[in-house]
């Protein structure tokens, strides 16, 4: 079983719709959960990170963590064509800053249709 799994998509939704992007993970030790957005031929851009369970909101973006199910989500409200990109989830393996590494999902390609 992969440590982090993410549906590659593509996911196509009409402009204005609510988008739901998800990742599952296998290691219950993960504590921080990040979401990155990557436009074609660009580096990933940090959207937000959350610690442990719960929700975090930033503008049109909401990140949700369900540690009991090992499932994280990113919701985008009022989606815009400019949201078309690849979205990657990521998790550092431990809280220690030694012998650590960060695991990324493969990314979900999102297309917002005007």
- Where along the sequence are the contacts to other proteins (CB under 8 A)? 32, 34, 36, 42-46, 49, 51, 88, 90, 92, 97-107
Least distance in angstroms from the C-beta of 80 to other proteins: 22
Residue 4: both structure tokens together:
């982090």
CB-nearer residue toward other proteins: 18 or 29: 29
For other proteins, which is the closer residue by CB, 32 or 61? Answer: 32
Q: What's the rounded Cα separation, in Å, for the pair 108 and 4?
A: 13
List the Cα angle 63/52/30 in 5-degree steps: 105
Closest approach of Cβ 9 to other proteins, in Å? 13
In whole angstroms, how close is the CB of 13 to other proteins at the nearest point? Answer: 23
Between 76 and 88, whose beta carbon lies closer to other proteins? 88
Nearest Cα residue to 103 out of 69, 74, 72: 72
The candidate with the shortest Cα–Cα distance to 36, out of 104, 95, 110, is 104
């Amino acid at each position: 079983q992969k440590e982090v799994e993410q549906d590659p998509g593509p996911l196509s939704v009409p402009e204005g719709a609510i988008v739901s992007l998800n990742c599952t993970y296998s290691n219950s030790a993960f504590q921080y959960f990040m979401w990155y957005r990557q436009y074609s031929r660009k580096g990933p851009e940090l959207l937000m990170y959350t610690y442990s369970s719960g929700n975090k909101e930033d503008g049109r973006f909401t990140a949700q963590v369900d540690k009991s199910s090992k499932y994280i989500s990113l919701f985008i409200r009022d989606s815009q064509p400019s949201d078309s990109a690849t979205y990657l989830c990521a998790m550092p393996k431990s809280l220690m800053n030694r012998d650590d590494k960060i695991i990324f999902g493969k990314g979900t390609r999102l297309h917002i249709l005007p």
